[in-house]
């Protein structure tokens, strides 16, 4: 079945950077939008960034100017470059593949296991 594997998380100081990766297998990668979510204990899952098959990107306001989502279709991998990290960015980050139908996106059950990002001094 489809498998997504996140990696790249870790412990960094405020102001630091991390680059998360989401590698896909058994997926027609080019047909899907790739989406990064994050979740902290006791809070709802939050959509962080999305990139569609045409390269159009969207970001939650809190990360605009700091995070960049990208994709490498040949490698079937999506990335999230996170700069100027803040303690508020601490969360488990997950990737998801979403179907694109026109302007609409439909999340699938294709999820990775998550990678922990901790921003602390």
Q: Is 121 helix (H, G, I), strand (E, B) or coil?
A: coil
* Tens digit of pLDDT at every position of the chain (121 positions): 889 999 999 999 999 999 999 999 988 888 899 999 999 999 999 999 999 999 999 999 999 999 999 999 999 999 999 999 999 999 999 999 999 988 899 998 888 899 999 999 9
Sign (positive or negative) of CA dihedral 102, 103, 108, 113? positive
Residue 69 CB neighbours (<10 A) = 24
Integer Cα distance of 2 and 71 in angstroms: 17
């Amino acid at each position: 079945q489809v498998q997504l594997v996140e990696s790249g998380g870790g412990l960094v100081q405020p102001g630091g950077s991390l680059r998360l990766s989401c590698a896909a297998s058994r997926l027609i990668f080019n047909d899907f939008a790739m989406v990064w979510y994050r979740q902290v204990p006791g809070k709802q899952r939050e959509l962080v960034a999305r990139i569609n098959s045409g390269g159009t990107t969207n970001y939650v306001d809190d990360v605009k100017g700091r995070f960049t989502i990208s994709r490498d279709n040949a490698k079937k991998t999506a990335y999230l470059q996170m700069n100027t990290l803040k303690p508020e960015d601490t969360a488990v980050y997950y990737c998801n593949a979403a179907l694109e139908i026109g302007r609409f996106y439909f999340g699938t059950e294709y999820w990775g296991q998550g990678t922990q990002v901790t921003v602390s001094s």
